[in-house]
Structure 1
């Protein structure tokens, strides 16, 4: 078997080797490696996780690249069915169809399609759909739901097969998968080969500007190899003979952008949002080392403060539990040194995770029903980007005296009293 991890030396966007060291997390578990309970976890895999920034194109990345076969061949992340995410999927589909005039019957391909939820939205709009996802378990679930899905990695090798069997797509969509891909050239070449002259490659990624300004260090984990700005993506696609024709900014996932890319000579004019966001990035310091140094300092401070807060509550005899068990919560807990010694459990609706323990910290994952019967004094809200939706839904818990700790951007304790006096505006998420 090949080495499960390698270190990136050449920037995957611009090809340069001029790196700024930003933040080192030390050895970290794989964020989606939920474990069966065991007497010992001595053999649990951990890999270094160092954040670096390219001084040439301002790509932010993790130096260590873990083999995708280690990460994805049996993946446990299932697309969220939260109201916020479903509404966002509809917004993305409507924007793509109307902005680029997709006629009914157009082929839409989704890369990293998971169980097919986004493609179901396109199908309801009269589109033909095809999913591509390397996680066999998720592809099987999608096919069982009637969403045709290939359990493959998307690349030039697969592009020829798709052309022969399905023809040219008008839209290729990759939602929150581009950041996971090491060999971007292979993916971009595949998209270029597949698209017809009017076709669009739509790439949704977490927005680097939101990550830096919102102190979202917990969204950094081994699966997320790259962290993109509009300026960096424009340079990437231009290097491959493509053009960013538009970009849309969304609040979902703590802040995301959808970049729409066409052939260099395509009919689509470049939207003004492309220039406006690039100018905002420069004004905000994303092309300056200082912004990343300040981010590292702020992240370290939050790690210390949150760890001290939780340990202090436990020392007072308070019961603290995790609300949700998202992958980014595992970065947060491991970075802050919060383990099963402090958290009673983490409650999550994902059945795949229930009965397992969180990677690194070994906090048991339980069902919401268990949490209802064994309520804590404090819930640490790990999917903080859904704070507004969750706290709005769980007001009855607050009325019982249970408090929520919203960890990002800085630790904030939310009680029923703070909601009443507007100390917390439900602006998170």
Structure 2
């Protein structure tokens, strides 16, 4: 990488180098285990001109998202988060007003986890989802879905066919596209001249403060502060109006933007978050310099725990097979000798193996059958949900292990 993908500057400084890993959602079938597996450098840098943190675009979205292993509806808390968002957005923007035929578009709509709540309210909507398999699941659930990547041309075509959108939703996708400017122009093409764009994306501030380095992976091409998001939005003719701090994915920002001509002055919350970012040093190199050392400590602590458990003859298995888990497993060099298997609620992953580390992925029922001493929880961002789901490990004295932000061993209580 020689140039910032947002502003074109050559002033890129290293934040953390995680070595080379396979794409995090490239789960292996059994017949692929004896075949070569590509791995790509995973090196986060920050632009000291616009402060966009980014990794090199070594894989394309087409390679990752044409068929995708992640189905949003398998997370109970995420579906509830989407339902609450829809309820609040409908009220905030009066989308159910009898005076207008509101139209909502979600970009990267996955399996319809969010738009199904819009459908239930009788509001006209459309999902734009590049992955053929999850888009088909959305249509099966009754959510109108177009299979496409968002570009200015796609946005213009949808607008011409369906009319401008009163609300465009882009949750957990603004980090997933290497062409930030083109994607933002696509959002502007979709949204009405007096409409709204709502974007949720992980906040670089919490990534740094909470040591959430496992959310760095090849699907995430960039990592935003509010300051860098303002500049990204402006590249497509959008202006930030409001921001909310939300707890999803360990700490995200919900950006409310409008076409620049109608945006007006931003709310005080925007200034408040910008001040927090500045106080954390994220507009100067000092805010990034110690991150690499804290990442190295996570690796040492987790490996020490797994090795000592193995030497005591104790069993450790995993829970979940999320993309972030594969960054952690590969960076730490964890193999089946230290983590016998992991389980996942998504049947698509059963019988497959984690990329790079080749740990078997089994159905969740296997944990109760085997009664391991420890369960390493890889989707740590769902901690509250999973402590409750896994409370049954109390029956045999099992314990949960959370690796992020620091190693934590939890005695669960019987529910």
Larger deviation, residues 34-43 vs 129-138: 34-43
Unaligned runs of 5+ in 1: 1-7, 421-429
- TM-score (norm. length: structure 2): 0.95
Per the alignment, in what secondary structure is the counterpart of residue 117 of structure 1?
Answer: coil
Matched, 1:112 2:108: yes
Q: How does 1:46-125 map to 2 (within 5 A)?
A: 46-104=39-97, 105-125=101-121
Matched, 1:371 2:367: yes
CA RMSD of aligned residues (A): 1.7
Larger deviation, residues 98-107 vs 71-80: 98-107
Go from structure 1 to structure 2 and tell me whether the alpha carbon gap of 1:194 and 1:392 turns closer, same or farther (over 3 Å shift). closer
Distance 1:395 1:190 in 2: 45
Larger deviation, residues 120-129 vs 403-412: 120-129
The answer for the alignment partner of 1:425 in structure 2 is none
| 1:305-341 superposed Cα distances (whole Å, 9 cap, x missing partner) | 1112112211221111001111111111111111112
Tell me, yes or no, if the aligned pair for 1:13 and 1:232 is still in contact at 8 Å: no
Alignment match of 2:272 (pick from 265, 273, 276): 276
Count of aligned pairs:
411
Alignment match of 1:254 (pick from 250, 265, 268): 250
The answer for the alignment partner of 2:406 in structure 1 is 410
Larger deviation, residues 272-281 vs 189-198: 189-198
Go from structure 1 to structure 2 and tell me whether the alpha carbon gap of 1:231 and 1:183 turns closer, same or farther (over 3 Å shift). same
Distance 1:42 1:294 in 2: 38
Tell me, yes or no, if the aligned pair for 1:59 and 1:227 is still in contact at 8 Å: yes
Distance 1:182 1:59 in 2: 12
Alignment match of 1:393 (pick from 378, 389, 395): 389
Distance 1:403 1:69 in 2: 40
Matched, 1:129 2:125: yes
Unaligned runs of 5+ in 2: none
Matched, 1:264 2:257: no
| 1:203-254 superposed Cα distances (whole Å, 9 cap, x missing partner) | 1101111101110001110001111011111122224332101111111111
Per the alignment, in what secondary structure is the counterpart of residue 304 of structure 1?
Answer: helix
The answer for the alignment partner of 1:424 in structure 2 is none
Distance 1:357 1:255 in 2: 29
Tell me, yes or no, if the aligned pair for 1:50 and 1:64 is still in contact at 8 Å: no
Matched, 1:382 2:362: no
Tell me, yes or no, if the aligned pair for 2:182 and 2:236 is still in contact at 8 Å: no
The answer for the alignment partner of 1:345 in structure 2 is 341
The answer for the alignment partner of 1:32 in structure 2 is 25
Alignment match of 1:12 (pick from 5, 10, 15): 5
Per the alignment, in what secondary structure is the counterpart of residue 290 of structure 2?
Answer: helix
Matched, 1:298 2:281: no
Per the alignment, in what secondary structure is the counterpart of residue 258 of structure 2?
Answer: strand
Distance 1:115 1:244 in 2: 28
Distance 1:192 1:44 in 2: 38
Tell me, yes or no, if the aligned pair for 2:66 and 2:130 is still in contact at 8 Å: yes
Tell me, yes or no, if the aligned pair for 1:9 and 1:17 is still in contact at 8 Å: yes
Distance 1:47 1:58 in 2: 24
Distance 2:331 2:37 in 1: 17
Distance 1:183 1:59 in 2: 13
Per the alignment, in what secondary structure is the counterpart of residue 361 of structure 1?
Answer: coil
